Structure 1
């Protein structure tokens, strides 16, 4: 019996190119006499006088626990369970389907979203026959303007038979203080391209490098209209890591991806036309 092949996501990261003006052994140059050994230099690791715990805290901190009102069962026939860590809040987000997983990646990267709550509820409502029910929302997205959106994720072919839209209508009428908007999101909204781009932005934010972002940001301030990511990187010294810096700026709402399909080095980007950011 042959083993199934697993597809892999390949991110289009070009090889790092050094500037011709940069000496090849610049990084290996010894510190000047009298330099403070306790002060880390640019690009250097943590201070050698820090404890192991302090060193670890500089590069990693344990994620905060999910705020979910319930955790999906670890094992369930015919479903997909797991969690990711929101790179902006360092908090775990749980999901119990591939659709919810993709939405968990997408929501933190929307420019107006400042917080994501998972498995929120239960919220009580009464149906048209007077029967009391409880519903738990997959996510609630908190926006920078102080409003919130309660989201139910479900495959499109199951929305009608489940009566989900009517359920959300009843909750909105009976529990208006729970959220400002109540919406259903299906695969028509949570597309493969949007999910792939969100995973790229998530990876970029998890490995965020402030120096790389600052260098690319300086280039983008000169943009007039749209430009390819390749053109932006060509005007910086940081071609390789610069791609991930561009991804961070897209996630931060500084730049916006205006091409169709997955983000690549050939994608067009421009300075975001709104003042909303996700930083």
Structure 2
């Protein structure tokens, strides 16, 4: 964030009574009394299971210098990304509460061109929802939208036929296929995912419960920053706010990056 943006944000925060959050005068109310390591109430030791690439039809390098190649882990599955856009998409997918399975480089499907020649395409991500719905996710820049829409139509026209080991064909290998571009996977939403995912392992259960009790007595909308006032630890409270957003108890009024000035409301 540029200095001019920081100053502009500070002015806006001061205008709504949140100036103390921009430049805190001490550490005593910003988490010094909190370990920030999460609650032990819900912590259970589980045996380590080495993540695997699952059904990925291709396995890119886990990390490569001077590129955006890398990986994350969802459950016990290694999820690859080969571009900044793919990284944003995979991070957004991991924040969705109703996702059961997330895999990369799957499924491989076939389609036919205008001359009837057979081709294959591998989806960037495979998602299975808790209700059993399976979705193939293609990730491409918006400049390739028309090209990809034509490709996805050809794949649908061929019954979304998957190509497995040994060339075995499976019709309707997924229930739906979608295209995601940078217009859906924005940098603002990507920044939110960091705090949402972090809150899952670093929240304090007691603080989350206390904040829920506070919200039940607050009708209408409230700014994110106002929830950080008059609390024993801003760090713990901030993580609790993100945890309630992750759980769906708190919802942002507007789509985009969430910060101290954002309006939030309790889910109906």
Distance 1:16 1:66 in 2: 44
1:122 and 2:122 equivalent? no
Aligned counterpart, 1:33:
none
1:271 and 2:258 equivalent? no
- List runs of 5+ in structure 1 lacking aligned partners: 1-11, 19-23, 28-41, 47-56, 274-279
Q: What's the secondary structure of 1:217's corresponding residue?
A: helix
Note the 1:45-194 alignment, pairs <5 A: 58=45, 61=48, 64-67=51-54, 68-73=56-61, 79-86=67-74, 89=75, 91-160=77-146, 163-176=147-160, 177-194=172-189
Distance 1:74 1:147 in 2: 28
Distance 2:139 2:116 in 1: 26
- Specify whether residues 70 and 223 from structure 1 end up closer, same or farther in structure 2 by C-alpha distance, changes over 3 A only: farther
Deviation at 1:117, TM superposition (A): 2.0
Cα deviation, 1:222-266, whole Å, max 9, x if unaligned, reads: 342211123333365443211111112212222112245422223
Cα deviation, 1:85-129, whole Å, max 9, x if unaligned, reads: 23xx35431111110001111112134434322111212222332
Deviation at 1:213, TM superposition (A): 2.3
Q: What's the secondary structure of 2:257's corresponding residue?
A: coil
Distance 1:216 1:91 in 2: 33
Q: What's the secondary structure of 1:58's corresponding residue?
A: coil
- Aligned mate of 2:219, from 206, 218, 224: 224
- Specify whether residues 221 and 235 from structure 1 end up closer, same or farther in structure 2 by C-alpha distance, changes over 3 A only: farther
Give the RMSD, CA atoms, in angstroms.
3.4
Distance 2:186 2:178 in 1: 16
- Specify whether residues 260 and 134 from structure 1 end up closer, same or farther in structure 2 by C-alpha distance, changes over 3 A only: closer
Distance 1:114 1:223 in 2: 33
Distance 2:200 2:152 in 1: 33
1:17 and 2:29 equivalent? yes
Aligned counterpart, 1:203:
198
Cα deviation, 1:30-66, whole Å, max 9, x if unaligned, reads: xxxxxxxxxxxx869x9xxxxxxxxxx8399455223
- Aligned mate of 2:210, from 215, 219, 239: 215
- Specify whether residues 75 and 146 from structure 1 end up closer, same or farther in structure 2 by C-alpha distance, changes over 3 A only: closer
Given the two structures, how large is their TM-score scaled by the length of structure 2? 0.71
Distance 1:13 1:270 in 2: 26
Deviation at 1:202, TM superposition (A): 1.9
Aligned pairs, number:
227
Deviates more, 1:93-102 or 1:224-233: 224-233
- Specify whether residues 214 and 75 from structure 1 end up closer, same or farther in structure 2 by C-alpha distance, changes over 3 A only: closer
Cα deviation, 1:169-227, whole Å, max 9, x if unaligned, reads: 12223234222321111111111111111122122224243333223233233342211
Given the two structures, how large is their TM-score scaled by the length of structure 1? 0.68
- Specify whether residues 234 and 78 from structure 1 end up closer, same or farther in structure 2 by C-alpha distance, changes over 3 A only: closer
1:254 and 2:252 equivalent? no
